[in-house]
Amino acid sequence: MWDRDCSETNFGVCCDVKGPNTTFVLTDRGMTWTEAQSYCREHHTDLASVRNLMEDQQLKEMAATAGSPAWIGLSRDSWKWSDGSTYSFRHWQESEPNYKSRKVCVAAAFHDSGKWYDDNCGKTRHFICYKDVPVSMQVIKVRVEKPNGVDLNDQAFLDDMLVEAKKNLRAQGLDDNVQLAWRKQPDGQVFHKEEEKKKRNEL
């Protein structure tokens, strides 16, 4: 990716985001960086923020067919993302950014592994928006028969159970983005003997 003048027209990548999961949306109409930002905020969440390698790979996979650079949400306004989030992950082309004295915007070069370059913000390009994926939480009670000699609250045992549960859910077609975690009781334990629970409830 490299930085460009924000008034040029490019493709753009928007995002829709509600929670930790992000979906990128490539928009195939040409707009300047500022126009693309307004479009993404109206129709999605904002211009794409690329915060880690996983999001960078996701963006490259969905936008590789664009065939030309696309605006993302980074600009040289103190080098921050369009949605105001911090700029820490970097994926610049060699010798980029190189516009020292002009306000510039950033495009992703999909012919070069999605690396960034700075450019004139007024150029017309495609762009990438992002959108938040709604996140919901479901609590499931689990009844387990205790194997001999096994501490059900041992962290290694709990971790192994989560790994197996995720494998089973994936085999049933559940999305990889689903997160599993144990809910701990007030005493810090996950599992209790049923008779102990009954006694506590009777007190």
**Inter-residue contact 121 to 34 (CB < 8 Å):** yes
Give the integer Cα–Cα distance in Å for 188 and 92: 45
Interval 132-155: pLDDT, tens: 766 666 777 778 787 787 888 888
Domains of the chain: 1-135 (3.10.100.10), 136-193 (no CATH)
Residue 38, pLDDT score: 93
- Higher pLDDT residue, 53 or 66? 53
Residue 37, pLDDT score: 92
9 phi, psi to nearest 5 deg: -95, 125
Q: What mean pLDDT value characterizes the chain?
A: 76
**Which of 28-42, 51-65, 110-124, 133-147 is modeled with the greatest confidence?**
28-42
Would the pTM count as exceeding 0.85?
A: no
Beta strands in 59-193 (DSSP E): 70-75, 80-81, 105-108, 117-132
Give the integer Cα–Cα distance in Å for 168 and 120: 50
Residue 2, pLDDT score: 47
Residue 100, pLDDT score: 59
Find the range with the poorest average confidence among 38-52, 60-74, 76-90.
60-74
**Which of 61-70, 139-148, 166-175 is modeled with the greatest confidence?**
139-148
Tokens of 94: 């060699």
Give the integer Cα–Cα distance in Å for 58 and 62: 6
Interval 8-42: pLDDT, tens: 554 445 554 433 567 888 887 889 999 999 999 99
Burial-class residue 100 by CB neighbours within 10 Å (0-12, 13-18, 19+).
exposed
Q: Which helix (H) or strand (E) holds 40?
A: helix 33-43
